[in-house]
Amino acid sequence: TQLLEQSPQFLSIQEGENLTVYCNSSSVFSSLQWYRQEPGEGPVLLVTVVTGGEVKKLKRLTFQFGDARKDSSLHITAAQPGDTGLYLCAGVPFGNEKLTFGTGTRLTIIP
Amino acid sequence: ETGVTQTPRHLVMGMTNKKSLKCEQHLGHNAMYWYKQSAKKPLELMFVYSLEERVENNSVPSRFSPECPNSSHLFLHLHTLQPEDSALYLCASSQDGTVNEKLFFGSGTQLSVL
């Protein structure tokens, strides 16, 4: 059992559509990070959320940290081919001061 | 120059070979990391160095040997690897090595062990 479960594992949608991907856990986290990894590259940090209920926006991307700090979601509006990549969440669970990564959602945007 | 540079980008080696992966960061950071990324598994932290001292070794087999000669350079020496060690090896750096800091990753070395 993974500490951070991401869903869906794979998602393929048409350009212009909206989508939401999820990062869930039974543990409480002090913070959660979202990274995007493009093919052939390393992950790049998109955002860090630290407060329960927090919402952060990055252009067409909206990140939300759950009120109980156990889950997070990433919503993309009007997806574009440049959004294609592996989306990883990572968090630090309370009581275990190690950054833990989820298994990722592999997103493909079809032109 | 990009922030974190890894070489080589691709490596194919036999189980009896010895090879080394190199990582260099140009960000002035104090902490450097090795991660392993395998298909269908989360990123696995292998080693952490802070100010050139190893501060974490996540039960990594001894066939992987890290070296950090200074705060800008990190090596991973490989010896008698197994086919299951085939993976993308990612180097990362961060400012101070605190646990929820932003990590800056290199592009990785795609390793295939035959």
Amino acid at B92: A
Left, alpha or beta for A78 (phi > 0: left; psi -120 to 50: alpha)?
Answer: left
Q: Which helix (H) or strand (E) holds A89?
A: strand A85-93
| Residues of chain A contacting B103 with CB distance shorter than 8 Å | 43, 45, 99
Residue of B109, B113, B107 whose CA lies nearest to B25: B107
The answer to whether the Cβ–Cβ distance between A48 and B102 falls below 8 Å is yes
The answer to whether the Cβ–Cβ distance between A103 and B45 falls below 8 Å is no
How many residue pairs from chains A and B have C-beta atoms closer than 8 A? 45
Q: Per-residue pLDDT for chain B (114 aa), expressed as one digit of tens each? A: 569 999 999 999 998 889 999 999 999 999 999 999 998 789 999 999 998 888 887 789 999 999 999 999 999 999 999 999 999 999 999 999 888 889 999 999 999 999
Residue B10 in contact with partner chain A when CB distance is under 8 A: no
| Residues of chain B contacting A92 with CB distance shorter than 8 Å | 99-100
Cα of B35 to nearest chain A Cα, Å:
11
Residue of B66, B65, B61 whose CA lies nearest to B82: B61
